Amino acid sequence: MVRVSLAAAVLVFALIGAGKPALAHPHVWIDLRVELLFDANGHLTGLRQTWLADELYSAFATEGFDGDGDGTPDSTALNALLAENLRNLKEYGYFTVVEDQRGPIATGEVTTFASTMRGPQLQMVFELPLARPYDPRAGDLRYAIYDPSYYISMLHAERDDAVSLVGAPDGCGLRVGKPPATAYEIAMAAAVGKEGQLPTGMGRIFAETVTVACAAH
């Protein structure tokens, strides 16, 4: 049985910490891996995202999922949890912003997803399609993945394939930009405990921005 969604789990995670020393933002950590998917025409069609949650959140979110007692959370329960998470995240664009020089690029609804355990960590994989294919040779494209409240820290994993281009045309490359947060903003986040809130949209300044550039036609 699915106990809580990602958003609800984060809220409960905060509540069960009441009475303990307040911790700074963020409270949940997710390592990202993103595959940018291109079609036969060299157009970007979507982002396949892999979210790997920290061990503490993973243990909390999957508590009670070991239905057969083998010590591993049941795959059916994990996928049901992810399905519920994605239904809630749809309202927030799946925490993903895609844009070019003209502004936001519309994305579609996630229908392909799977969840597994990687050791003690919960791994969630899903494909976020663009509303229509985008030709990156017409202009650079950028994306950022982040929780606007910065309750969850979401950064690309420290590995060579944290971001990859799948089926991209020749002449395409990418750059991962560091979060623009200043020392003051980092200190402000560190001073906010579990019961506190950062200014609306603060999570954006703690997000990495990935730029995809392709040679023009």
Look at residue 217 in the predicted model and tell me its pLDDT.
57
Which residues have C-beta within 8 Å of that of residue 72, sequence separation ≥ 6? 66, 117
Q: pLDDT value at position 12?
A: 39
- 86 SS3 class: helix
Q: Across the strands, what pairs with 31?
A: 52, 155
Cα 106 to chain centroid, rounded: 17
Mean pLDDT of residues grouped by 10 in the chain (217 residues)?
Answer: 47 38 72 98 97 94 80 88 93 96 96 95 97 94 94 93 96 95 85 66 92 86
